[in-house]
Chains A and B, each alone.
Chain A
């Protein structure tokens, strides 16, 4: 019988340990894809959500309807269905149309499909965040801006949205953490993010627990990091009197 210490350092365990570390590194490199996916999706969501919210509050009736339809559609469909719809449906149509018109084959990547699905859906959710923020602002400011000669659009852009965005940062941080975890679904299309790499390693090695633990840890770290950074942004951009000031409540008597 060999003593336990010796078996820990045996050539076989060392080899399998270094093998695991190598594959762990491979999985961790998925963080780059996941982060890129989230940043792009959040940006698309912002670009879609901001105007949607403005249309919902200030737009003429037909734009409100259209915005409502968009939100209803993207909130009502699971992200997985949406990804398949875009990748196998929508992208196929574009590719075949491209082939027909230019004669050159065009391939749209799973990554792009994942970004679009997550981003368009996030736009629906973000629009609700901003809409709530806009409605919480005192309406007199919009009126005052119009009275000074602002057009409706420039009053929305220069007066309303900066305040709405400022107030939305905490809710936005929440949306980030949800989107981050939703992004794991992108593995089904073969986007090489954290989850896809994890699945790849588990099917290669037939070991599950360490890899899923690792994936969970990576998602946890990314959530923590992102939320931390948005908290810092929240502090940095704080404007006295705008939004909720927790400090002001510190002076109230405790129960």
Chain B
């Protein structure tokens, strides 16, 4: 444990929709360079948690601090600047369908950061290179494979120079043979020091790279601990049970 303030601190957030408690008093924190993995059964509130962290959904109580700055203290205007520093990756990519790969990456540089077209495209190109898609820059989302789409969306997030990345099941919509290329990019990012919070069911990946596993169920953090948490055996908790079930289904 370091004594410095964490880069991202989620402090006791709750989210209630239509009287139903979706998130119940969730806290967690990430230090610089951490990769933490959130796992848990479907409907447990993982996606809601990520969307509350960048205030796409405003939590009913609690707060989020990025480098010590409170999200709640920001007005409606400044929250855009807050979100800009948090990259987000979605299960279904959400690329902009009317723009080719290059402009998908460049558009926010121009419209959010106000960069010139040439400069934005130059940066976009170098981000596409980083994810190995420089030769696909002119293709539209519908012309890319799932794995390529997700890599474009990674490039798009990275171009904004985020301090933290939130990844919501980035490989769940992919054909099995395409999962590797996306996980590779994420692993490299992590090794290069990017701070990340990732929802995933890729247990193998989680085991190797993550600093901490966070197990969520019914809107609550039920268990947290090192990757060994996932190992079954005597004394294995809920997370281990869940992983054993996952392994049964996927045969791994």
Contacts and interface: CB of A to CB of B under 8 A. Distances in A.
Interface of A: 137-138, 140-141, 143-151, 154, 158-159, 162-163, 166, 239-242
A60 B201 CA distance: 38
Interface in B148-172: 153, 156-157, 160
A146 B153 CA distance: 14
Interface in B67-109: 77, 80-81, 83-84, 86-88, 90, 92-98, 107-108
Interface residues of B, number: 30
B157 A241 contact: no
A242 to B, nearest CB: 5
A149 B157 contact: no
A158 B94 contact: no
Contact of B140 (A143, A145, A149, A241): A241
Given A144-B88, A146-B83, A148-B84, 12 more contacts: A141-B97, A144-B90, A144-B94, A147-B56, A148-B157, A149-B81, A151-B77, A163-B96, A166-B98, A240-B142, A241-B141, A241-B143
A159 B142 contact: no
A141 B94 contact: yes
Contact of A154 (B77, B88, B111, B141): B111
B191 interface: no
B97 A163 contact: yes
7 contacts: A138-B97, A140-B93, A141-B96, A144-B88, A147-B56, A147-B83, A148-B87
Contact of A241 (B107, B111, B142): B142
A149 B162 CA distance: 11
B91 to A, nearest CB: 9
Contact of B90 (A140, A240, A241, A242): A140
B140 A240 contact: yes
A146 B142 contact: no
Contact of B160 (A143, A148, A154): A148
B174 to A, nearest CB: 16
Contacts of B86: 147
A149 B90 contact: no
A154 B112 CA distance: 8
B92 A140 contact: yes
B56 A241 contact: no
A147 B54 contact: yes
A144 B88 CA distance: 8
A158 B90 contact: no
Contacts of B143: 240-241
B112 A159 contact: no
B98 A148 contact: no
A145 B97 CA distance: 12
B113 to A, nearest CB: 8
A242 B56 CA distance: 26
Contacts of B142: 240-242
A162 B107 CA distance: 13
A39 B220 CA distance: 59
A149 B92 CA distance: 19
A162 B157 CA distance: 21
Contacts of A146: 56, 80, 83
B18 to A, nearest CB: 17
Contacts of A158: 107, 111
A163 B97 CA distance: 8
A241 B98 CA distance: 8
Contacts of B80: 146, 149-151
Nearest to B92: A140
